Every structure is written in structure tokens, then in C-alpha cells.
Chain A
Amino acid sequence: MQNHHIALTVNDEATEVAFAPYKTLLEVLREDLNLCGTKHGCELGECGACAVLLDGQPVLSCLVLGVECEGRSVTTVEGLARDGRLHPLQETFADLGAAQCGYCTPGFLVTAKALLDEHAHPTRDQIREALSGNLCRCTGYQQIFEAVEKAIGDRSPERLALRESPDGASLSNEHARSAGLSGERHQ
């Protein structure tokens, strides 16, 4: 079988890749581009673990053929951090326990990013709705909701400014401590 060749943008970088034409975008990302951050839980469109952004919209990469992606833009979990800084969602997911085993996490992160890109201040119900195609067996979702809600706050102009400052982008536990026990904020 002859390989199919496409040019596309992956995480803002122009990329060319050749692959067997039957391969899904999921397989192309993992096997041909070595982007293993995108996971799979069923390869049948049931679990949401393989979600990526295709031209900014969340899609299940196990249901998209690689050949469909010519000229398009794909964002994976590897493309969320910018300039050495984690995306606010990555920070809050890490701080608030939204990632336990971490296997469904990349799918949740990109789906949540698409939501926040669309709605500056989604309600809890909008968050539930947006993430309803992503299954998580560890968390019971509550800490995921809280992480998304905290990221909304963290994206406000003043918080972003703080984050830009040399002291703001800290990976230490200070961040978690200042975040407090998330439950107290929301109960």
C-alpha cells in the first residue's frame, strides 16, 4: 500500500508526514509524528481520550482519517504550553487534582480549551455539557470542573499579567497553596 503524503499545521508548526492511507489522525499523531500525548481508550469514538483540536474545534482523532487533514491545523496536548509556560488549564488541572491517572487528561484539556476559547465565562452546566463526551474513571469529574472554573479566573487580564511576570510562572507548590483546598471555594 502506497503511503499518503500531506502537509498540515501541528501545534503551530508546518509539518509534512507520509502514512498508510487507512490510518486515523490518532495513529498518524502517535505513530508517525511521535506525539504520544494524545491517548486512545476505544478507537471507536466512545471515550473522548483521543480528542484534539482540528481548526480549533474538538474532534475525536480516532474518527478522523489522516488523509482528511491536508492543509488543516491540529492542536494536541503538546501544543497547549506556550513559551515554556503551561496553559492556565494545565496549571489548574495540576494544582487541583483534576488529573489522577492522567490518561484521559489530554482529551479533557483540549476540549476544555475549545470551550474557553469560545466562551470567556462558561457556567458549570456549560462545562458539564462541553465535557460530556470525555470519560474519566478516576476523578468523579468534580475536580475537573473546578480546575476549568479556576482557569477562567486565571485567564483574566490581571492574572495573566501576573503570570507573565518572572515570579508568576512558578511550578512550585506555592501555586497550589495559594489556590487553597479547592472544595472550599465551590461548596
Chain B
Amino acid sequence: MNTIGKPRRRVDARAKVTGQTRFADDIMLPRTLHCKLLRSTLPHARIARVDASRALAHPGVHLVLTGRDFPISYGILPVSQDEHALAIDRVRFVGDPVAAIIARDELTAFEALDLIDVEYEPLPTLSGPEDSLAHPEPRLHEYGDTGNIHKIVSLEFGDVEAALALADHVFEDTFFYQGNTHLPIEQHAAVAVKDPDGKLVLYSSTQTPHYVHRALARALAMPAAHIRVVATPNGGGFGGKSDPFNHEVVVCKAAMMLDRPVKICLTREEVFYCHRGRHPVLMQFTTGVRRDGSITGMHVKTLLDGGAYGSYGVASTFYTGALQTVTYHIPTYRFQGCRVFTNKPPCGPKRGHGTPQSRFGQEIQLDKIAEKLSIDPAELRLRIVEQPETLTANYLRVGTIGLAECIRRVTRAADWTNTFRKLPHGRGVGIACSSYLSGAGLPIYWNDMPHSGVQLKLDRSGGVTAFCGATEIGQGSDDVLVGCVAEVLGIDPLDIRAVTGDTDLTPVDLGSYSSRVTLMMGNAAIQAAERARDLLAAAVSNKLGVPKDRLVFADRRVFDTEQPSTGVSFAEAVCLAETMFGTLGTTGSYTPPRSAAKFKGGGVGPSPTYSYSAAIVEVSVDPSTGWIDVPRVWIAHDIGRSLNPTLVRGQVEGSVYMALGEALMEEQTFRRLPPRLSSALVHKFPSMLEYKSPTTLDMPEVITELVENPDPRGPFGAKEVGQGPLLPVMPAVANAVYDAIGVRIDEVPITPEKILKALDAKAAGKDPRFGPAHFPDIAWPDALQVPPPWEGGDGKAINENVRRAKSDARDRTSKSTGSEVVPS
């Protein structure tokens, strides 16, 4: 291999270090008008009246839009089409957009916001899951499973009760994971333009141009073929730019009405309101183990605070229960998850989507289990690592597993056996592991079309252009695209031009989410490049009289492997092929294998293959102040194969960084204003100064180990790296704190205050821990019963029809009596 596996300057690096990368807000077009959104000041209210007449009369204001201009709802998931670009009759959180001003400049638009008169009639607010469960009425939305429960699910794979009865020990632990937000340094921005031919173009900092394209067609009732969405390189995404957003729909409508470019750039405060970040999750793990540490069964319950809209929430809910089985062998498994609506900015996917929360609980509980069984926690994990090439209890098909090697590598690097439980009081080490998808196995809207497409254009200049809908969000997707093509064609990555993230010019790629791009786009790129190589090889073979299978593509040449001096330059090979075949263009596409899960809810979790990580974190804790310092993190990641080690290492270290922020300081929390100020539920600190994130002074030394065991399902064997390495870090911090000072902090962020409270509890002879005391009673529906593969199951639920009949009967009853729907 000439390109793959070698540390390289990424192909878009020069643009980035010279400030020439054009982000959405850098697009400056003549005659641009500027848009600002008026956002709700109340967390829940009926809009009695919106009067924009004073704003419209303000000099420089061109247009005012309100909810009535956007009658059609949209949303990222087909089952949650619950958003309007501007609120029609109700606002559901402080920051919910109510009206839009389009004016000659930003200042004028800002000024005019104050001239819109909105009359609100306040409604009762739901501040958290307990509120939402206790108050099914009034409902925040007219859809969802029941009351203010958006989604409630219950799945059982084998007889968990019987398995727990067989266990030598049963552990029950409750954990809380606080919500936090992506905080990309780039604020969301968008520019909409009516093309000279009357079609709509949107430039936007989005991770998912394809889904935005679909949402715009729906919300604006326009043919999708008349809409072009260009994803500008994102100044960081982390999941926060994966939904279609209000401001995108608004500027599109305005540009079409005014026939002038319309631009919006959100303020930092507004970015906090867009959110779609980490769900706060309360969870309970009940796990049965034998004396040797093997797990007999596990029951996981999660309660998610979803905020005011659906977003990806249904998927997030399932993800809190999906991947436990992918890491360790769990023969029987029950998952119950519940997502509620509250009057806060909507939660959604943040790096790790739904899995970091339950990973936190699972890995701390394993630490507790190891201690109780007197087994070293690294050794315990080695004993229970899931088998490769297997089907889990919940029908996830696992490929290669490098987790055992990850554990061995980090324990060796960190000198684990000489440090764990051996450091002086106040210093400690903790270990945790994880796994993550290399791309979601199913698209957001179900269909059998490819998830990623790549087109190549080659012409007589010797130039190659690679087209793909994938979106560069900093992860290096353009580099992966050209790297794969360059390797197959034997040219330099910098010889290739990448055209990406443009729904007019590039074939569909579903977007930069679920760690799917490297695997899916990479496979599509290899297929397209191999097809191009076949054409070139045929033409060169014809010219040189050398059999095709003896031709090698390397060093910008095509030559005879037996006589390397016999050959042509790559450019000449393209000319020969263009002469022989006419205009050259090839395509490649990638569709993931079919999932083995056939039950309802089985669509979340399947992936072509899974990555694995193990982390050891060292902490020192000052028992008098509770202050936590993290001097070092060792992390090993099963990458399959590292396509460009410079970028892979960047993803690992960036994940560790973001994880430490979540573990130690970051939280998106809310408070009530005093009654004289409306009792509104407001964001505690929608600013970067108060929302603490790690700086250069906080970042520890990170020792990264890459475990390379190529997975045949990945491009050149590669798996994901963008999200997985975040997951083990938070629980490893918690486990290290326990090693250091003997108290359990069963929630994040792990702050000095919580440490002091736990130390106080310990000193008073109470449970030496800080964390949630209990998990509330929830009326779970009857579980879907899916026998695991080793019990003769076929991936289908054995009671799905029974359950559906019961649910239909219940719906009929509730409709006829008008009573509240209570899940059985």
C-alpha cells in the first residue's frame, strides 16, 4: 500500500491552515439580506396573537414571517414530524422560534425583533421526566406513545428473571448521566439563494444535506429536484448539525419570496437553544453474575429527558439499550426505555448517540462486580469479551473484535498491575471499555437503496475527480474519499479533486452521522475506483500486450509487474482508456448487509461492524477540596485498519478530550426564574464562558494505541474511530476516582462538590457514594419476547401480533371513553 496506513497531510489541510476553507458564514453574495429569529421567552405557552406591523414598518425590514407561513411540519425521523419552522400556535421551550425578520443588515433585523408584539398565554411546564410522567396532560404533542411519553419500549431476549435466579450475585445500580451539548466552535449558519433559473439553493453548515434536502421539499412543498442543498464544511458538528433546522427552512422560504440571497448566522446563545445534544438519562442496571464473573443476564432500564421535540429521540431511546451485548457476552437481556417530552431545547444525537449514558452505568457496575468478586477489573472484562463473528442475544451481528487486545495494550502501557489499588490515597486508576457502530445498518427512512454513492470522472488531462454526498465536518471525509481512490489507482491523494456534500452535483450519501462515512463511502469509493482501474487496465493491456492481471497501478504509473520498466504514465493510461471506451466515468455504491433482527425496534443497533476501545484514566483527587486532576489517559482503539494514522489519532484524542469535558464539567442544565420573572424554565448558562469545556490547561497527556486487525467488511479493513473512543473515558474516570479515594460517583459530571458530598457520606458511615437513589416506577408495556439465537430464535418476536392486538384494543377503548391512555 502506498497511501493507506501512512501518516499524511490531509488533502484539505492547506485550505484549513490558510483560512480559505469556506464555511457557511463566509459566503458573501451581492444583495444579501439578513435574517434573525424571534424566539420564545416562555417555556410553554399558547400564542394568542403575533403582531408584526411595527416591525414591518421599520426602515430596512423586507419581510416578516410567522408560523402561518409554514403550515407543514417536518422532522428528522419519519415517526417524529413534529417541528414547524416557526411556531404556529404554541411554543414549547425558551428559544422556540416564533417569527423571523429579514432585513438589509443584521443590526436592523435585531432591532426589528423588538418591534414584534407577541401575546402569550402561559401553559404548565414540564421541567424533567418526573414532571412528565406525573402529568400526562396537557400533552406537549398530539402524538407519541401516551401522555407526555414520546416513546416507551420493552424488549426481552430470553428469560432474564430465570437467569438472575441462577446467578451467584445480582447487582442493582442506579446511575444518572447529565445532558450536555456539542459546542461546535462554528455557530450554525445558512445562506439561501434563488438560482437564476428559479430553483432554490441552500448553503448550510449541516452534517446531513440529504435529509435537509428531503425536509425542505416537504416543509416548503417544493419538488426535491428543484432544491439544491450544499453542505459547507462544518466548523465542528459532533451530531449538533444533523437535524433539519428552523433557520434553514426560514431562509429558504424568504429567499424564494424575495428573490435575493438571505443569510442567517445564529448567535452562540441560539446554538445552545438548537441543542439536539446528549439526553439526560436516569438508568438502572440489574445484572446477574457467576463467581467467575460471567454474566447470566442483564436488565437495563433507561429514562430519557427528551426536551420539547422528537428529533432523533426514538433512535436515541433504543440506542441506550442496544450495544451492551456487543461488548460482553450477555446470554439473556431485557431492555426497557422511556423518553419523555419536557419544556427544554430538544435533545438528540451527540457523539456516541444514546450509548455513552448506558456505557457509563455498565462499566461502573462492572467495576463494582469485579471488586465484590475479587477479580481484577481488567481481567474480568477479558473473561467476558463477546466472541467475534457472532450474533448477540439481541440479534446484532458482530464482526471482528479487537477488544481483548485493546485491554492488553492499555494495561501494559499504563503498568496496570503495579498501579491499580496500589497508588497512594488520593491517586487512582480506572479502566473501562466500549464498542460502537461503524455506521447505522438502516437509513433514517427505510428503503433498499445504497447508503453511499461515489462517482469518478477521469479525463485525458490525467485528472480524477471524486464526487460523493459525504460531508466534511472536520473528521477528514474528503481525505478518506481521495485516499481510497488514490490507493486503488496508484496516484497521490493530492492528484484527486474531491467534490462533496452537494445534492445537485454528488450522488447521495446519507450524511456524517453514526460513524458511517469511512466504512460506507470508503467501500463505495473503492468500488468506483476498481471499476475505473479495470477500464484503464484493459486499455493499457491492449496497448502494451501485457495481460491485465499482470498490470500494477502505483507511483502514478501503470506497469507490468514482471517487467516494471514496461508501462505508461497514469495520465497516458487515462488517454488510452478514453480512446477505447469513450468518456470515462464510473460509480460505486454501498448498501449495508441486511440486519438479522426482525422485531420492532431491531432497526437500531445493527451495523456492518463494530469498533472497540479500552481506556485507563489516572486521576488525583484532593480530599479536602474535591478537586480532580487527570494527568494521563491511555486509550487503545480497535480501528480495523488505520487509513491515515494522523487523522485516526486526532479522532481518538479528540474523543478523549470531549469525554473528559462530559466526565468532569460539561452540563446543559436549566433553572426556574423567580415567580416575579414568570417562573420560566431557562437555560442556566447559554454562553461559552459559563458552559465549561476543557482548555489547553485542562487537557492531560493521552497515550494512544491503535489496534489493527483489518475487518473484511471495512474499506481496506477500516472501522470507525470518530465516536467509539469517547465512550470508555467517562466511566474510567469514575472508576479511577473510586480507586483514588474510595467513593463512587454514579453520575456525570463528576464535580468537586459531588466528591465532597460522597466523602461526607463515607465519613458519616453512610453509603460512600453520590448518585441517584432510585429509578421511578414506570408502567412499562408488555415486553416483546425475542428468543436469542441459542434458544432457537429467528430474530422475530414471538408475541408481536398478540401485543399489537392488545394495543389496538386499548386504543379503541380509550377513544370511545376519551380516557387517558395508560400503557399496560
Contacts and interface: CB of A to CB of B under 8 A. Distances in A.
Contact of A102 (B235, B268, B702): B235
Interface in B644-661: 645-647, 649-650, 653-658
Contact of A181 (B186, B645, B696, B703): B645
A37 B15 CA distance: 10
A102 B688 contact: no
B704 interface: yes
A96 B187 CA distance: 26
A73 B697 CA distance: 30
B17 A94 contact: yes
Interface in A7-50: 20, 22, 30-31, 34, 36-44, 46-47, 49
B583 interface: no
B650 A173 contact: no
B697 A37 contact: no
A105 interface: yes
Given A95-B9, A137-B184, A140-B654, A172 B492 contact: yes
B236 interface: yes
Interface size class of B (residues with CB under 8 A): 35 or more
Interface string A100-134: 11111110010000000000000000011101111
Contacts of B22: 36
A187 B703 contact: yes
Nearest to A90: B17
Interface in B458-512: 473-476, 492-494
Interface in B184-213: 184-187
B477 to A, nearest CB: 11
Contact of B17 (A36, A49, A86, A131): A86
B697 A139 contact: no
A2 to B, nearest CB: 15
Contact of A139 (B18, B186, B657, B689): B657
Contacts of B233: 101-102
Given A94-B14, A101-B473, A143 B649 contact: yes
B476 A137 contact: no
Contact of B268 (A31, A44, A80, A100): A44
B183 A137 contact: yes
B465 to A, nearest CB: 19
Identify whether the interface residues of A are mostly helix, strand, loop, or mixed: loop
A102 B15 contact: yes
B650 A101 contact: no
A164 interface: no
Contacts of B25: 40
Interface string B231-242: 001111110000
B653 A99 contact: no
B46 to A, nearest CB: 33
A78 B17 CA distance: 9
Interface string B17-34: 111111101101000000
Contact of B693 (A49, A127, A137): A137
B598 interface: no
Nearest to B699: A141
A22 to B, nearest CB: 8
A77 interface: yes
Contacts of A78: 18-19
Interface string B698-711: 01011110000000
B6 interface: yes
A16 B25 CA distance: 24
B13 interface: yes
B678 interface: no
Nearest to A129: B697
A40 B703 CA distance: 32
A42 B686 CA distance: 11
Interface of B: 6-10, 12-23, 25-26, 28, 107, 182-187, 233-238, 267-268, 473-476, 492-494, 645-647, 649-650, 653-658, 687-689, 693, 695-697, 699, 701-704
Given A39-B19, A46-B268, A96-B646, 11 more contacts: A36-B26, A41-B688, A43-B268, A44-B689, A78-B19, A94-B17, A101-B233, A103-B184, A103-B186, A137-B657, A138-B654
Interface of A: 20, 22, 30-31, 34, 36-44, 46-47, 49, 76-78, 80-81, 86, 89-91, 93-97, 99-106, 109, 127-129, 131-145, 171-173, 175-177, 179-183, 187
6 contacts: A34-B28, A103-B21, A128-B697, A132-B695, A139-B653, A171-B494
Which 4 A-B pairs have CB atoms at the shortest separation, nearest pair first? A37-B19, A101-B474, A102-B16, A103-B235
